[in-house]
Structure 1
């Protein structure tokens, strides 16, 4: 019964739930609650996907995963699983299922580690390139740096551009000369506050986790839905942070002038300036449509009622804990 529950949960969380949540309109009214829910869906889905073959495979060796795992390893090591074939002819299939579940778990962890290492290396190279190309500090760049609260570099490009570079030893806000010249002081401040929110709320880690999840199980189409949805939610959260400190018109005009499709926390460091002198297009992933952000800002909806937000936030950890409980308790 427990295996069937985990299998059903894996199917539900792998397809209909991400599709429905990705289409839900209420998330624009409560992006923070929606972000928590997306994390719970991903965690519960991963545990269920790994858990149901693992639990079915370990069933002859114990009632719980904690109890059965040592017996499973011992049986494989000393060959004692062979006499059990008389009682359970499905035992070779069970061993294969448990092994597959462990291999999938190792694959997920390894993919996350590789993605993190590659991202850190790309950011390091990108930061070196920015330091190389950065223009001398000006009065406006110093003002932007004070607003951002992090070191700020200005690229000598006429195209309005702004993004953030998270780092292990310190973060960096990158602006272009065109942004400082073409936007008003209020608009620049709104953009910088938006980028600071990305850094302060560590949106780079959230997007990194879902990017790794998508890479690990790219055969599952809904992982792409989750990746795009989380990218969109990070932009909504950063926009809300900017709106809390600056005027709505300043933020809207700044977004239009910069043509932001979502300020990327993990810019493509392998891109470099082209021969025409334009800055690298680090916003070409298209994960967050500009029209979606503008629609939300131009037609603001009332926030989701507090009881509904609390209900979503409370339901999220319960959802994440449910498959874990099925794996650990008989």
Structure 2
């Protein structure tokens, strides 16, 4: 049990700092954003499981298994006394593990509820203020001079553009922007971003949580760029990004318009650089290796926890 705790602790430490820092600074994610996104998800999930698992393994070590610890401690949880072998450090580790798991789960739930409420509010505003679908994009149109496009995900989806955007762009550029927004909806990026926003909200003092959320948001933008690039071409998409970016607005994914403007201009710069460089994806062997790494990062703590459960 102690060996399992040390192993999981070492993995949690690696996934909490050097691994995500190296990934956030790497250049290859721009070439294969889907692969990098899977790796980020593996790091987040594997790191959380490893952190909680290390605490559980240490706290349950006097009993020899998680089941044994539960059997020994639950009956005396209120009345006592503490069973032999369990010290303050063991009980503190078990309490911290349970508290951390509950804290993360509650933040995920509350973040999801807030996002759903925001989406419903946006759908009501769109129904009230937006004009019917426009040609040639099929997006709803808001009467506003600022050039903005955004999408609202969920069971009911909507893609919205402003009159300012329609006036600013030609037909191909407008198709590229709307195609970008619809790619966010089709690829369910809001679910990926929701998990990382919840992680950041749960651990706002944890620098990697902020770094991970920003990196994942950038990757989803790159993935959404690939759909219109294939259908409309690179040039209309690049020109649309330049025109919209220079106007001070954006055409980025958001749960709601208040989130649509990304204050980090480096995201736009990285998207433009990726389009201008026309980067080639990683080869199949490199992509497979990263997918296996992402799977392994999650599988290791799961297997260790399963091994010490009984």
Q: TM-score, normalised by structure 1?
A: 0.86
Partner of 1:291: 269
Aligned equivalent of 1:21: 23
2:151 corresponds to: 164
Structure 1 residue 11 displacement after superposition: 0.9
Query: For 1:166-225, what per-residue CA distance to the aligned partner results, in whole angstroms no more than 9, with x for missing partners?
Result: 123x10000111222221111111111111110000001100100000111112101101
Q: What is the aligned partner in structure 2 of residue 43 from structure 1?
A: 45
What root-mean-square deviation, in Å, do the aligned CA atoms of Structure 1 and Structure 2 show? 1.9
Which of 44, 54, 57 aligns to 2:56? It is 54
Question: 1:235·1:262 contact (CA, 8 Å) conserved in 2?
Answer: no
For residues 120 and 287 of structure 1, do their structure 2 counterparts lie closer, same or farther at Cα, with a shift above 3 Å needed? farther
Provide the rounded CA distance (Å) in 1 between the counterparts of 2:103 and 2:143: 43
Q: Output one character per residue of 1:215-268: Cα deviation in whole Å (capped at 9) or x when no partner.
A: 111121011010000000000100111111111000001111222656133225
2:233 equivalent in structure 1: 247
Distance 1:29 1:284, change over 3 A: closer
- The question of 1:234 aligning with 2:220 is answered yes
SS at 2:77 equivalent: helix
| C-alpha displacement of 1:72 | 2.9
Residue 87 of structure 2 corresponds to 91
Residue 262 of structure 1 contacts residue 289 of structure 1 at CA under 8 Å; is this kept in 2?
A: no
**Contact 2:147–2:244 (CA under 8 A) maintained in structure 1:** yes
1:328 maps to: 306
Q: Call closer, same or farther: CA 1:256–1:184 in 2, change over 3 Å.
A: same
**For 2:73 and 2:186, how far apart are their aligned partners in 1?**
45
Report the number of matched residues. 303
Shift of 1:287: 7.7
CA shift, 1:323, in A, is 0.9
Which range moves more in the overlay, 197-206 or 92-101? 92-101
Match of 1:278 in 2: none
* Unaligned runs of at least 5 residues, structure 1: 146-151, 270-280
The aligned residue for residue 204 of structure 1 is: 190
**Residue aligning to 2:292:** 314
Report the Cα distance in structure 1 between the residues aligned to 2:162 and 2:257, rounded to whole angstroms: 17
Which residue number in structure 1 is paired with residue 137 of structure 2? 144
5+ long unaligned stretches in structure 2: none
Shift of 1:67: 4.6
**8 A Cα contact 1:14 1:222, kept in partner:** yes
Q: Helix, strand or coil: the match of 1:329?
A: helix
